[in-house]
Structure 1
Amino acid sequence: MTDMRETGRGILREVVGQEYFDKREASTNSFNADARRLSEEYCFGEIWSRPGLERKTRSLLCVATMVALNRQHELRIHIGTALTNGATAEEIKEVLLQSIIYCGLPAGLEGFRVAEEVLASRGVL
Structure 2
Amino acid sequence: MGAAHVKRSLDSATPFTQPLQDWIIEHAWGTTWQDDSVLPRKYRSLITIGFLIAQKSPNELKGHIRGAINNGASVVEIREVLMHSLPYCGAPATQEAFRAAIEVLNDMDIDINK
Check whether TM > 0.5.
yes
Gaps of 5+ in 1: 1-15
1:17 is displaced (CA, Å) by 3.0
Query: Number of paired residues?
Result: 110
Give the structure-1-normalised TM-score. 0.82
Give CA deviations for 1:2-43 in whole Å, capped at 9, x if unaligned: xxxxxxxxxxxxxx2343333212112211111111111122
1:102-113 equivalent positions in 2, closer than 5 A: 102-113=88-99
1:28-43 equivalent positions in 2, closer than 5 A: 28-43=13-28
The corresponding residue for 2:65 is 79
1:106-121 equivalent positions in 2, closer than 5 A: 106-121=92-107
RMSD: 1.2
1:44 is displaced (CA, Å) by 2.3
The corresponding residue for 1:4 is none
Counterparts of 2:30 and 2:100 in 1: how far apart (Å)?
27
Gaps of 5+ in 2: none
Give the structure-2-normalised TM-score. 0.90
Distance 1:22 1:42, change over 3 A: closer
Counterparts of 1:48 and 1:82 in 2: how far apart (Å)?
12
